[in-house]
Structure 1
Amino acid sequence: MNRFAFLLDRLSYEPRRNAKVRLMSDYFRETPDPERGWALAAITGALSFRHAKAGLIRGLIMERADPELFAMSYDYVGDLAETVALMWPGETRANRAPPLSEIVEGLTSTAKLDLPKRLAQWLDALDETGRWALLKLITGSLRIGASARLAKTAVAALGEDIKPDDVELVWPGLEPPYDALFAWVEGRAERPNAEDPAPFRPPMLAHPLEDANFRAFDPAEFAAEWKWDGIRVQASAGRDADGRHVARLWSRSGEDVSAAFPDLLDALTFDGAIDGELLILREGRVQTFNVLQQRLNRKAVTPKLTAEFPAHIRAYDLLFNGDEDLRGLSFVERRKRLEAFVARAACPRMDLSPLVPFDDWDGLAAARLDPAGAGAGADAAAVEGLMVKRRDSPYVVGRPKGLWFKWKHDPMTVDAVLMYAQRGHGRRSSFYSDFTFGVWTEDVEGPRLTPVGKAYFGFTDEELVELDRFVRKNTTNRFGPVREVTHTEAIGLVLEIAFEGIAKSARHKSGVAMRFPRVARIRWDKPPHEADRLESLERLIDEREAAAGS
């Protein structure tokens, strides 16, 4: 466990991508099975423990430390695992540190009533870094800046002529602690057989396209299609060894989300793999992302839910036609095959994402600004921009340069007043980096601020230091880990908030919900009384709904 803890500690402080890969590769190379396999599972998010939760950790530390002192310490540190690791009393009281495999087995098999005692024994046996790693493992939030893709890249580096994409291809058929995977990359065994008839294939991603840089390309070499405001998915289907048809729905990151969309899964009767967008379609019209959100992350999928929010796939690309791999073909050729595939499948829950005709970049720019007039029609409100793809591009895993671009609509903005702040996690645990902001509204007592959202990114490291300093100097009240910041008409800080979408919401006190809000600019130049009003956001929603209904 100590070696795994040391790895996590190093990764959390290492900003360079290649250095992170080297750290993980060295660990995987020097650590035996099954320890390295469980470490890989932890980093890739493949571990979950039914009874080990954050509440268990809080209960243990409050039995061993003053609850008020813990609350103050947690408020200061901002991270539960780090706070408890530092506060856990006494010196190490065991002859050995438990290995990671023992901890994983214990967290999985120990009865709920026995788990507090066993966890306390492990914490007694570990040093501060080990305790921190153990608690991070339990909470499931490592926050070490290493994605699953990066970990697989590190595994591929152990072998000769093995690429991260090769690891991705066999990954869906593997289970922790991945003995077969390590044996293969190290040349001790054959490549694992991915027998899944409906596997996940890693997606191809796009680079942002800015107005200033696209004119360097020849428009004749590119095709364009709408970028729909849904969730990127992959529909994969095939037949198992017994000839039974199997279909699965995968998220962009490779998470199997089939259970949440049984209505859609039943309609996927084809054999192949489609790259597309998950949408809600009502009476032939694509709904906004806010409608789709009401279908996501539901514990129970009822007939009423599926009837009210019918899931639909709008197809972008064809990766497999039956057993035939089409990813090496050009986009133009795959598009022809996709059109024929969708027509032949005749699936009522799937249609084709239309191409956007254009002759030059000015024409495409005009289409981006007016989707309704450029062919999107009644679905224009669900368009968030354009995808621009080289006609000769193969389907390549990752984000290759110069092949695919995303040209999104300019974000909407609002000037809002900073109202509350809370510390972040991981590297940000010492800074106030999570901000609640509000806009003005009128009541019988005059203008007041109404919270409309939270933002925790969009600013630079230098701006974070300035924001943290402002919060500390202008705190008027505290509510647990949350600080209330001075926000009057005369005194306060205005933030320009950028967001991708906005809709009415009964779940929010303000009645509005923003999509992906972020701090675009700190308005040191603007007094709080000049910040925007709630009425302006409500008008914006009305305008968008009117456009969607026209």
Structure 2
Amino acid sequence: MRAFADLLDSLIYTRSRNAKLKLIGDYLIATPDPDRGWAMAALTGDLDLPAVKPAVIRGLIEARVDPVLYRMSRDYVGDSAETVALLWPTPLVPPQESGPLAISQAVDTLNSLSRSDAPAALAAMLDRLDAEERFALLKMATGALRIGVSARLAKTALATAFGIDVEAVEEVWHGIAPPYASLFDWAEGRGAQPTAADVPVFRPFMLAHPLEDLRVSLDDYAAEWKWDGIRVQIVHVAGATRLYSRAGDDITASFPEVARDFTGIGVVDGELMVKGDAQGGALEEGGAASFNALQQRLGRKIVSAKMLADYPAFVRLYDILFDGGEDLRERPWTERRTRLERFAQSLDPERFDVSQLIEARDFTALEGIRAGARDAAIEGVMLKRRESPYVTGRRVGLWYKWKRDPLTADCVMMYAQRGSGRRSSFYSDYTFGCWTEDGELLPVGKAYSGITDEELKMLDKFVRGHTLNRFGPVREVEKTLVLEIAFDSIHESKRHKSGVAMRFPRISRIRTDKPAAEADTVVGLKRLIV
């Protein structure tokens, strides 16, 4: 645990990508199996210790220190694991076990115990460790590292350290369980390269760069709509079907009807949405409802018959990676598109269709078509180079995303909450509202992005100087500051008192020039619902 604690500490204070790669690589080379495998699982978000939840950790610390002191400290520090690690008291009686605690020992112990027995075992481990090691253990246990290391970067560090291809690592990653013994055997020359044959594994998605100010020729690029659902990959091989999210999470259980009806052997890439007539709503031009309808299905491990009927899911297909056992990723987009259209003919048209291409004579004509698209399920336009292969990640010049211009509204700041990580000392999460016809201010959204560091300091100063009430980590502020909020779309919501919910709200401008009484109204926001 000591070496992993030192690694986390170094990564937190390192900004250079290359330096992070070297830190992780050096750790993996120096650390024996299976500890390094469990460390990789933690770094990539693949470590699951179901018996340890945040509430368990909170209960342990509040049994040892004044709960008020813990909550005040948590509010100041901004991170639960760090707060507990620093506050954990030295036991009056020395622990029965002493000496170094291996990562594998901690994982094996916590995985083997029931939810009722795990808290005592976790407490015994924390008693053995110093503050840095406690921080590392708690971060591992809760799966919330937040140290500026993505799963892709961790895998790249592994590949670089051992001189193997990162794409080969990605290809088999989801087919190998932690602590990845076969992967390290291959990396160090003791075993054969693992393969994904006959296993429904996830392949990393091809991603797009923002178009920004670039103009491209439609002779070289094909245009298709960018739909507002969740990106999914459907894999059917050896009689098994899996649905994966963009992050590689298995979401098959949440959408069993999609897995059931996908009968083709192969791997496809598409957008998962809910049909537009769900819950009596108007059928959209593209047959899809807004993202708000899809949210009713997300994250559900058990889906009722009523939910299946009220919010029927379907997938709009974008691309094909495998047709049967044939790998098409190196083929040009034009060929893959032809193969996708042929592949889709064998699928249930009520559950699967192919994303429509946009016919435009030139880029200027495409601009006009994009500007006129206000379908609630359309996010914008995708531009795909006709000769592009399907490659992992973002490659310049191949795919571009051209989102439609955001909507904006002037809203009044109502509440503020401390952030996490490097923002833990600032009030950086803001709840904002709009006026009703009766002059009441109702919350319509929450945002924490879109501002510079200087603007963050300014808003933090405003919150501290204009606080009306405190509710734990939340402060109610004077209703005098207007924020211009940009958002992708807005939808009706029964869960919010205002009756509306924004999609991807972010702060566009701080309107110190505008009186709060002139901010927008809830009625005005409702007019923006498509």
Any conservation in 1 of the 2:175–2:199 contact (CA below 8 Å)?
no
Deviation, 1:187, is: 2.3
Aligned to 1:242: none
Deviation, 1:41, is: 0.7
Decide which moves more: 224-233 or 76-85. 76-85
Aligned to 2:328: 326
**Aligned with residue 481 of structure 1, among 455, 470, 473:** 473
Deviation, 1:535, is: 1.3
Deviation, 1:309, is: 1.2
Report whether the alignment pairs 1:351 with 2:353. yes
Aligned to 1:462: 454
Decide which moves more: 498-507 or 469-478. 469-478
Decide which moves more: 62-71 or 192-201. 192-201
Amino acid across the alignment from 2:336: R
Amino acid across the alignment from 1:334: R
Any conservation in 2 of the 1:268–1:347 contact (CA below 8 Å)?
no
Cα distance in 2 for partners of 1:103, 1:523 equals 51
Cα distance in 2 for partners of 1:229, 1:263 equals 20
Aligned to 2:235: 236
> Secondary structure of the residue that 1:540 maps to in structure 2?
coil
Aligned to 2:430: 435
Where do 4+ consecutive residues of structure 1 move more than 4 Å?
91-94
Distance 1:433 1:37, change over 3 A: same
Aligned to 2:369: 367
> Secondary structure of the residue that 2:52 maps to in structure 1?
coil
Cα distance in 1 for partners of 2:437, 2:483 equals 20
Deviation, 1:524, is: 2.3
- In the superposition, the TM-score normalised over structure 2's length comes to 0.94
**Aligned with residue 105 of structure 2, among 102, 106, 127:** 102
Aligned to 2:53: 53
Aligned to 2:387: 392
Deviation, 1:346, is: 5.0
> Secondary structure of the residue that 1:157 maps to in structure 2?
helix
Any conservation in 1 of the 2:49–2:142 contact (CA below 8 Å)?
no
* Residues 182-217 of structure 1: CA deviation (Å, up to 9, x unaligned): 12122221101324442211110000112x222xx3
Report whether the alignment pairs 1:171 with 2:178. no
Cα distance in 2 for partners of 1:265, 1:49 equals 27
Aligned to 1:265: 259
Aligned to 1:81: 81
Distance 1:394 1:402, change over 3 A: same
**Matched pairs, number:** 519
Cα distance in 2 for partners of 1:201, 1:112 equals 34
Aligned to 2:248: 254
> Secondary structure of the residue that 2:108 maps to in structure 1?
helix
**Aligned with residue 137 of structure 1, among 121, 130, 140:** 140
Cα distance in 1 for partners of 2:114, 2:341 equals 54
Matches within 5 A, 1:87-236: 87-90=87-90, 93=94, 95-160=98-163, 162-210=164-212, 212-214=213-215, 217-236=216-235
Cα distance in 2 for partners of 1:352, 1:442 equals 44
Any conservation in 1 of the 2:408–2:485 contact (CA below 8 Å)?
yes
> Secondary structure of the residue that 1:173 maps to in structure 2?
coil
Where structure 1 has 5 or more consecutive residues not aligned to the other structure, the ranges are: 240-244, 373-379, 545-550
Aligned to 2:496: 508
Distance 1:282 1:420, change over 3 A: closer
Aligned to 2:280: none
> Secondary structure of the residue that 1:315 maps to in structure 2?
strand
Aligned to 2:417: 422
Cα distance in 2 for partners of 1:442, 1:366 equals 36
* Residues 155-190 of structure 1: CA deviation (Å, up to 9, x unaligned): 111223x22211011112101111111121222211
Distance 1:233 1:111, change over 3 A: closer
Cα distance in 2 for partners of 1:465, 1:97 equals 42
Cα distance in 2 for partners of 1:185, 1:156 equals 8
Aligned to 1:38: 38
> Secondary structure of the residue that 1:68 maps to in structure 2?
helix
> Secondary structure of the residue that 2:206 maps to in structure 1?
coil
Amino acid across the alignment from 1:381: A
> Secondary structure of the residue that 1:158 maps to in structure 2?
helix
Decide which moves more: 433-442 or 91-100. 91-100
Cα distance in 2 for partners of 1:113, 1:280 equals 39
Deviation, 1:388, is: 0.3
Aligned to 2:63: 63
* Residues 71-95 of structure 1: CA deviation (Å, up to 9, x unaligned): 2212222221111111112389564
Decide which moves more: 169-178 or 107-116. 107-116
Cα distance in 1 for partners of 2:234, 2:60 equals 44
Where structure 2 has 5 or more consecutive residues not aligned to the other structure, the ranges are: 278-282
Any conservation in 2 of the 1:229–1:382 contact (CA below 8 Å)?
yes
Any conservation in 2 of the 1:220–1:359 contact (CA below 8 Å)?
no
Report whether the alignment pairs 1:413 with 2:408. yes
Distance 1:418 1:309, change over 3 A: same
Decide which moves more: 12-21 or 230-239. 12-21
Deviation, 1:463, is: 1.9
- Note the aligned Cα RMSD (angstroms): 1.7
Amino acid across the alignment from 2:214: N
Deviation, 1:250, is: 1.1
Decide which moves more: 287-296 or 3-12. 3-12
> Secondary structure of the residue that 1:294 maps to in structure 2?
coil
> Secondary structure of the residue that 1:64 maps to in structure 2?
coil
Amino acid across the alignment from 1:87: L
Report whether the alignment pairs 1:449 with 2:448. no
> Secondary structure of the residue that 1:156 maps to in structure 2?
helix
> Secondary structure of the residue that 1:144 maps to in structure 2?
coil
Deviation, 1:419, is: 1.1
Deviation, 1:16, is: 2.6
Deviation, 1:322, is: 0.4
Cα distance in 2 for partners of 1:197, 1:77 equals 44
Amino acid across the alignment from 2:223: A
Cα distance in 2 for partners of 1:123, 1:26 equals 26
Amino acid across the alignment from 1:98: L
